[in-house]
Structure 1
Amino acid sequence: MTTSVGSSRRPSDTAVPAPRRWWALAAVAVAQLMIGLDLTVMNIALPSVQRSLELSDPARQWVVTIFALGYGGPLLLGGRLSDLLGRRRALLFGLTGFALASALGGAATGPAMLLTSRALQGVFGALLTPSVLATLAASFPVSGSGEGSAERGRAFGIYGTVMGSSSGLGVVLGGLLTDHLDWRWCMYVNLPIAGLAAAGVLYAVRPAPRAGGVRLDVTGALLATTGLMALVFGFARAETDGWGAAVTLGALALGLLTLAAFVLAQARAARPLLPLRVVLDRRRGGSYLAVFGVASGIFAALFFLTFYLQNVLGYPPVRAGLAYLPLTAGLMAGGRLVSPLMARVPVRLLLCPGLLTVAAGLALLGALRTDSGYRPGVLLVFLLVGLGSGWLLVTANSTATLGAGADTAVAGAMVMTSQQIGASLGTALLSTVAATAAAGHLRARPGEPAEAAVHGFGVAGLSASAFLCLAAVVVFLVIGGGARRGPERPDGAQAG
């Protein structure tokens, strides 16, 4: 692995910070919040959606899965389209498309119309997210002397808090809207949010010239999108059909083979979709691995805790959603604590504590029992998972885009790609672990299904905790002692 990016930067990216940069941060944070909300806002609404549109049980799950497919698959393509269109234009296209897709879903008269709208939401979200990160990186540059590091740390701290807390807020919002209005407002709510974000973009994000010499790598785009969508689909089918099902094995095999072909194509392409220098940089590579690891654990944990709160403790949807607020508090605290450290501390000494803090929270799932209640068990899990996630996501997003130059959008897209693949794998794999452990417990103690389910959650949590501890070791070794974080140089590399 290399320790510098070596890509050129446009002058506009190395100039003084944007005059309306804090307004730009607010606008793109609202845009990303909207996407994050939609990853979970429909989860609690699913029973109401199923009754309203007469969805079958398999179709019900696709309301969530098809959004993940549409979002996770084209992220790398969205990063390159951001360069081709220009950041500001890509933000406005993404926001407009996401709003229209949401309106279509809110007005859905049948399953096909709703699923189409959810897929389109994912696709426009995949265009929007890389532009968000590229706008942040350009609005808060760091000079060769390190000037601007503190502002950049604060900006990414705010963004990381918003991004990390959006899933928990989505659960809360979904419960409130479904209980007090109608499930359709889980879709319609995106219209005012998108309008507010678009107004902010028009006011605060200055137009930037298109990246010179950028061409769309059609072969790479097709291979990357197909491979990533096949992996996400395979993991989703593993959760419902099992790992040995033909559809699961076929999708995973297609995904792995296609992504292998993608890597080979990128090594030979004159203008690749994802230049290999982006992922071979030690800091970025370690950041992507850290995000993959933490996503594989926390999304499965949140899935388990939703069932624990509602099915074991008997919480109604709104109360279950509000129970997630300590997660948001932990995320905010983690982002705030790590922001001032990013300019001074080597990145591996920031990423690894984040992973280990989340691992500690997941390990506490093993102590839950049917009579544990909310305090201190669930509350402490939420706080630790939130604290570690906020700490890690702020560090990873800033590191991935620092000094990336013309590769900034696609470098940022890789963060979300890592998160999507990690979340899909973790949810499928840990669900299997939980189900297997629960079945074994039920055979030993028949007639205690709730206790068996909680036992399964605990075994899965301990497994996820062990995986994150291993991930921390791997990230520490991958980044190495020579890849210290340093000030950004005008040539796009990093000092130190």
Structure 2
Amino acid sequence: MVQAMDGVVSPSRHSRWTALVVLCAGTLMTVLDGSIVTVAMPAIQSGLGFSPAGLAWVVNAYLIAFAGLLLLAGRLGDLIGRRRMFVSGLAVFTAASVLCGVSTSSGALIAARFAQGIGGAMTSAVVLGMLVALFPEGRDRARAIAVFSAVGAAGGALGTFLGGALTSALGWHSIFLINLPIGVAALIAALRVLADDRGQGLGKGADYAGAVLVTAALMLGVHTIVRAAARGWTSTPTLGFGALSVLLLAAFAVRQVYAADPLLRPRLLRSRTLAGANLVQLLMVAGMFTFQYLGALYIQRVLGFDELLTGIAFLPAPLVIGVLMLGFSARLTVRFGPRRVLLSGLALIVTGLAVLGRAPADGTYAMDVLPVMLLLGTGFGLAMPALTGLAMADVRPEDGGLASGLFNTGQVVGGALGLAVTAALASGRTRELLGAGDDAIAALSGGYQLAFRTAAGLAVVALLAAAALLRTEGPRTEKPRKKRARTVKSGTGKPRTGEPRTNEPRTPTTHTG
């Protein structure tokens, strides 16, 4: 059993890594669910009779609940104990997955997906806080973050493959029901391996008014973003709901200044490293989500791949990410510092997205997609662990859950915002080209090119922000100081070296003549 101290702290190296495996298993389940659904969307639409507009809510319901509750779940994890929040989240997510798998109507599936988002937020919000408590510093922390990041990054791309394979072989229900054995195993392991931490206690205050404000603001903001493509960015609902979301966030900010026990302590936002890392992550993930979702559409609609082949086509990216993160990124981070590794990774992401921006209508997978997969896989494999380490480097132990929730919120909001913007640009460009007389494939390709170039621009801004804001190089290994032999004069006046110290008072030496 792992002893509790500020979350989870292990007395032995073996138990710490066992606990990390459990945390990664719970994370993998929620990460897979974010991408496994995309390939199965056509099958879900035909199976439950979704309208084209209603089908988007299979994704939107999950995103809104997940993003809206991350901050609150992170703070509650600090108060009631992160293990309790993690285990409860696993239970909610697993039960909701079963409800998704047995849904027989569109309304039932959307409601179950919302419940899945709640469970995912509860689980994900506290994981990073638990991880940094398990591995306080040094090479082990770099390795642990690399493993955790590999699971998250590779899991997203792996979900595309599993979604295609499971849907083709067993039907769309299986993409949800597969979470049942994984969730039960992770739940049992978490109860056995992770120690129960008491947290700070609800008496410290959860700032319920602030929680309502920020949860409403985030849910409404994500809802506005994901619906903007259909409604139009300048439509009355988009502008109205967007303004209301900003007002709620402003009210939340004011509340945090005057609340006795604020939900989001101002000192977290004053941390240049944490705030900068969240901004860089938001921009980087916005670009990568464009590749993950619109890249899959390019492979299917322009290159003509089916669901299974599309999933297989995405496999090089998670393989590169996994090999790099598990084998090299921790060593590179320790040797060169997280900032240099992050900047190198972002430069590769910019290059990959820029290359994808020329994806032609008559392109081939080997020439136009595979090189991009390798570039983006390498770039993300370098950037994400370094960025995660920087984000959590200066966080106090009592703020671990909240900082973890904040970091995950930036990831979800960045993905939703980036995809909404680039998808709208791609759709508008496609319509424009169709109106100009281009054939359907050429028009689709032109729309995707604009989206990928926009994503490359977002990655450029992320690179510039990282260079300007993230100057922390992380923990440095200090060279051991050479012990200097002390010289003590003897009664004869000759020096003696290396005399051991004792706890007894030393008699002063008297010099005469």
Q: TM-score, normalised by structure 2?
A: 0.87
Aligned to 1:5: none
Which residue, out of 1, 26, 36, partners 1:41?
36
- What does residue 491 of structure 2 align with? none
- For residue 360 of structure 2, what is the amino acid of its counterpart? R
Q: Which residue, out of 157, 172, 175, partners 2:146?
A: 157
Does 1:259 pair with 2:254?
Answer: no
Name 2:407's counterpart in structure 1.
415
1:74 is paired with a residue whose SS is: helix
- Does residue 1:98 correspond to 2:89, yes or no? no
Distance 1:18 1:222, change over 3 A: farther
Alignment match, 2:119: 124
Q: How far apart, CA to CA, are the structure 1 residues paired with 2:345 and 2:75?
A: 30
Match of 2:220 in 1: 230
Is the CA contact (8 Å cut-off) linking 2:8 and 2:130 kept in structure 1? no
Q: In structure 2, do the counterparts of structure 1 residues 190 and 120 end up closer, same or farther at CA, with 3 Å as the change threshold?
A: same
1:74 aligns to 2:84 (yes or no): no
Question: Structure 2 residue aligned with 1:139, among 134, 138, 142?
Answer: 134
Structure 2: unaligned runs, 5 residues or longer: 478-513
Q: CA deviation at 1:78?
A: 0.8
Where do 1:6-17 residues align within 5 Å? none
Q: Once structures 1 and 2 are overlaid, which stretch shifts more, 44-53 or 295-304?
A: 44-53
Asked whether the equivalents of residues 66 and 118 of structure 1 are also in contact (C-alpha less than 8 Å), the reply is yes
Q: Deviation per CA, 1:391-443: give whole Å up to 9, x if none.
A: 22212222323342100111111111111111111111111222233333334
1:441 pairs with 2:436:
no
For residues 258 and 236 of structure 1, what CA distance do their matches in structure 2 show? 18
Residue identity matched to 2:401: A
Q: Report the Cα offset of residue 258 of structure 1.
A: 1.2
The 3 A distance-change label for structure 1 pair 15 and 121 is closer
> Kindly tell me: are residues 438 and 112 of structure 1, through their superposed partners in 2, closer, same or farther at Cα, counting changes over 3 Å?
closer
Provide the aligned C-alpha RMSD in A.
2.0
Query: Deviation at 1:302?
Result: 1.6
**Can you list the C-alpha shifts for 1:35-67, whole angstroms capped at 9, x where unaligned?**
011111111212222222222222111001110
State the alpha-carbon separation in 1 of the partners of residues 103 and 188 from structure 2.
Answer: 27
Residue 151 of structure 1 and its aligned partner are, at CA, apart by: 1.0
Task: Report SS of the residue matched to 1:20.
Answer: helix
Q: CA deviation at 1:141?
A: 1.3
1:426 paired to 2:418: yes
Choose which of 436, 444, 447 in structure 2 pairs with 1:453.
444
Letter in 1 for 2:457: A
Relative to 1, partners in 2 of residues 1:403 and 1:47: Cα closer, same or farther, differing over 3 Å? same
Cα 1:334–1:227, aligned 2, differ >3 Å: closer, same or farther? Answer: farther
- Counterparts of 2:194 and 2:351 in 1: how far apart (Å)? 40
Q: Kindly state the Cα deviation for residue 101 of structure 1 after the two structures are TM-superposed.
A: 0.7
Query: For residues 430 and 11 of structure 1, what CA distance do their matches in structure 2 show?
Result: 41
Q: Any conservation in 2 of the 1:433–1:459 contact (CA below 8 Å)? A: yes
Is the counterpart of residue 402 in structure 1 residue 393 in structure 2? yes
The aligned residue for residue 352 of structure 1 is 343
Structure 1 residues 92 and 450: alpha-carbon distance in aligned structure 2, compared to 1, 3 A threshold = same
2:143 and 2:319 map into 1 onto residues whose CA distance is 17
In structure 1, how many angstroms separate the alpha carbons of the residues matched to 2:427 and 2:104? Answer: 35
CA distance, structure 1, for counterparts of residue 65 and residue 79 of structure 2: 20
Q: Note if contact 1:297-1:464 (Cα within 8 Å) is conserved in structure 2.
A: yes
Residues 351 and 396, structure 1, Cα contact 8 Å, conserved in 2: yes
CA distance in 2, matches of 1:62, 1:118: 9
Tell me: CA distance 1:55–1:463, structure 2 relative to 1, closer, same or farther (3 Å): closer
Q: Which residue of 2 aligns with 1:170?
A: 159
Alignment correspondent of 1:473 = 464
Is 1:200 the counterpart of 2:192? The answer is: no
Q: What is the CA deviation profile of residues 91-128 of structure 1, one whole-angstrom value per residue up to 9, with x for unaligned ones?
A: 11111111111111111121111111100000111110
Contact 2:126 2:400 in 1 (8 A): no
Distance 2:432 2:50 in 1: 32
Alignment of 1:345-384 (within 5 A): 345-384=336-375
Moved more, 238-247 or 320-329: 238-247
Q: Could you tell me which amino acid in structure 2 is paired with residue 137 of structure 1?
A: V
Alignment match, 2:21: 26
**For each residue in 1:440-483, what CA deviation from the matched residue of structure 2 results, as whole angstroms up to 9, or x when unmatched?**
33344x14121121122112212221222122112221224xx3
Q: 1:319 to 1:14 in 2, by over 3 A?
A: closer
Q: Percent identity among equivalent residues?
A: 32
Offset from partner CA, 1:151-193 (integer Å, 9 cap, x none): 1111111110110111211111111111111211111111111
Q: CA deviation at 1:287?
A: 1.3
**Pair 1:392-2:398 in alignment:** no
Aligned partner letter, 1:39: G
Which stretches in structure 1 are left out of the alignment for 5+ residues?
1-8, 143-148, 489-496
Larger mean Cα displacement after TM superposition, 349-358 or 224-233: 349-358
Q: Is the 8 A contact 1:344 1:485 kept in 2?
A: no
Corresponding residue number in structure 2 for 1:491: none
Q: In the alignment, which residue of structure 2 is the partner of 1:185?
A: 174
Q: Report what 2:506 is aligned to.
A: none
- CA gap of 1:69–1:210, structure 2 versus 1, over 3 A, is same
Distance 1:477 1:99 in 2: 42
Q: State the distance in 2 between where 1:185 and 1:117 align.
A: 15
Q: Measure the CA separation in 1 of the matches of 2:380 and 2:356.
A: 17
Pairing partner for 1:63 from 58, 62, 82: 58
Alpha-carbon spacing, 1:120–1:327, altered in 2? closer, same or farther (3 Å): same
Contact 1:27/1:200 (<8 A) preserved: yes
The question of whether the paired residues in 2 share the 8 Å contact of 1:81 and 1:127 is answered with no
1:241 and 2:231 aligned: yes
How far apart, CA to CA, are the structure 2 residues paired with 1:392 and 1:479? 13
Structure 1 pair 109/13, CA: closer, same or farther in 2 (3 Å)?
A: closer
- Bigger shift: residues 465-474 or 406-415: 465-474
Structure possessing the higher radius of gyration over alpha carbons: 2
Q: TM-score, normalised by structure 1?
A: 0.90
Structure number with the bigger relative contact order (C-alpha 8 A, sep ≥ 6) is 1
